[in-house]
Amino acid sequence: MADRFRMTLAQLNPVVGDLAGNAAKAREAWEAAREADADMVALPEMFITGYNAQDLVVKPAFHTAAIEAVRQLAKDCAEGPAMAIGGPWVEGVELFNAYFILRGGRIVSTVLKHHLPNETVFDEVRIFDSGPIGGPYSVGNTRIGSPICEDAWHEDVAETLAETGAEFLLVPNGSPYYRNKFETRLNHMVARVVETGLPLIYLNMVGGQDDQVFDGGSFALNPGGALAVQLPVFDECIAHVDLERGESGWRVLPGEVAGLPDAYEQDYRVMVQALRDYLAKTGFKKVLLGLSGGVDSAIVAAIAADAIGPENVRCVMLPSEYTSDHSLEDAEAVANAIGCRYDYVPISGPRAAVTEALAPLFEGLKPDLTEENIQSRLRGLLLMAMSNKFGEMLLTTGNKSEVAVGYATIYGDMAGGYNPIKDLYKTRVFETCRWRNANHRDWMMGPAGEVIPPRVIEKPPSAELRPDQKDSDSLPDYPELDAILNILIEKDGSIADCVAAGFDRATAQKVERLIYLSEYKRFQSAPGARLTGRAFWLDRRYPIVNRWRDPT
């Protein structure tokens, strides 16, 4: 008679710092496991604290409370399946990223993370101490090994667990999204399965935390690397995975294998989920944004409507004498198509007042960028006033191309609490608009159909701060700019690499100079959804004061 083992996977969305709320989610998952007659329920890495908690977890009062919350969970879930849950652990003066096995009212096993990631968005080397490579733990008559997240990206931990008697691997993760990361994870886990000959269950959390979105997509692999189970990406779910032990060891029985959306859908879902969770977890229920009639603010309005519903989105047109009739028409058309509130607040009066106030100081000086920036900052002032008055979070709308080269006014159009498209290059903004017009999913709260009129997507981009202004007056055309930015930022390449790719040396040098000069703006910019492995903030950290320029 073959042995069976039922593992309940809790692919859930914790809130950083909400120990009681996260514990309640864990208890609900445990109840579901008990009702399903499971042997064990598993939750992701650092679930009790939420992830990535950064330096919060170092605070003694916090990690002490988190450990006590785990102990209380053990008592609450004493009669029924075992529970595996991530959290901090202290031994002497050392702080560890740990995975706890709870059974019979107590913590019966503690796994300590050995390999600490120290790249991209992770700083675990400065937060945690490295634990020793340990052996498997027992649940009933089964021995399980749990490499914690980064530990499964290296050979040694899984191999040691296999050599010391583990019969299958359960990998708890807090692994955030970047484009095409699922394939990278899967390849690493297949390598562990091939090396050890053991089945592997990969459990990831879901949900947004600041700039990061954890995308779920938990899966199970059988010996040889065959995919037996895959849970949906981004969705909270509780799933029961059955294993059967025969003469050759354990195998995962075939279960649900959810499809993987394409990269445009995943990116869009990340931007929606990031904003939805950022608002929910910080307590905001409504947003507002300046709607210019351009493509960037249009896609942000669509994202906001899909995140929290059109009825909770306020779009504001703030025209000056340079705002074209087309922009006025297009902004209103976007608001109407999405179904959100549309307000009209001209800046001509405030601009005249500021011009008059500064006239004695500016007498004899020609108008320049100063006057353009006054317009942008007046818009920021008025939008922030509305944000304060109505309790609605102001969204910023600068794409990655603009953020990279500083094509935005600090304290003006950069004002706001969150930027959903901060990691989306301009050329990809256009394609994302077309994708959203052609697609609708059940996780979108906005309307189906064409929400961004084609004219908004097709017209030449312009800040409209002076007569007949076009972005291309001061920047390379966006296809060229984005290709150069891809080399300098995404690939960390050189001017020589740009030239080798066919771009003009002077143009590449100009773009590089703008990137470095704009660092101080990015330092003060709103957080935004991370879509790539080279997002501005934690993925790419440069000094503000920096005289180096690539001489190649």
Positive/negative CA dihedral, 98, 103, 104, 110: negative
Residues 338-351 have pLDDT tens digits of 999 999 999 999 99
d(Cα 103, Cα 42) in Å, to the nearest integer? 12
Q: Spell out the residues 6+ positions from residue 427 whose beta carbon is closer than 8 angstroms to its own.
A: 401, 478, 479, 482
What SS3 state is found at 106? strand
Asked if residue 52 has a cis previous peptide bond (ω within 30° of 0), the answer is: yes
- Residue ranges for the binding site? 175, 181, 290-297, 373, 397, 402, 521
Residue 89's φ and ψ, nearest 5 degrees, are: -145, 140
pTM of the model: 0.95
d(Cα 289, Cα 343) in Å, to the nearest integer? 10
Residue 116's φ and ψ, nearest 5 degrees, are: -105, 115
DSSP percent split of the chain into helix, strand, coil, nearest 5:
40, 20, 40
Q: Classify residue 422 by its DSSP letter.
A: T
Cα–Cα separations (whole angstroms), residue 222 to 175, 228, 239, 314, 453: 21, 7, 17, 50, 48
d(Cα 147, Cα 136) in Å, to the nearest integer? 10
- Residue ranges for the binding site for ATP? 290-297, 397
pLDDT at residue number 2? 56
Q: What is the DSSP string of 132-190?
A: PP---EEETTEEEE---GGGGGSHHHHHHHHHTT-SEEEEEE--B--TTHHHHHHHHHH
Q: For the chain, how far is it from start to end, CA to CA, in angstroms?
A: 70
pLDDT at residue number 323? 85
d(Cα 96, Cα 106) in Å, to the nearest integer? 19
Place of tokens 């459990």: 203
- Residue ranges for the binding site for deamido-NAD(+)? 373, 402, 521
Angle at 463 between CA 529 and CA 371, to 5 degrees: 115
pLDDT at residue number 464? 67
Q: What is the DSSP string of 120-131?
A: TT--HHHH-PPP
pLDDT at residue number 462? 76
Other CB atoms within a 10 A radius of the CB of residue 71 amount to 15
d(Cα 51, Cα 208) in Å, to the nearest integer? 10
**Residues forming the active site:** 45, 113, 149
The tokens for 382 are: 């008025």
Nearest to 419 by CA among 394, 441, 385, 443: 394
d(Cα 195, Cα 159) in Å, to the nearest integer? 7
Q: What parts of the chain have a pLDDT lower than 50?
A: 1
What SS3 state is found at 282? helix
Nearest to 408 by CA among 288, 287, 524, 314: 524
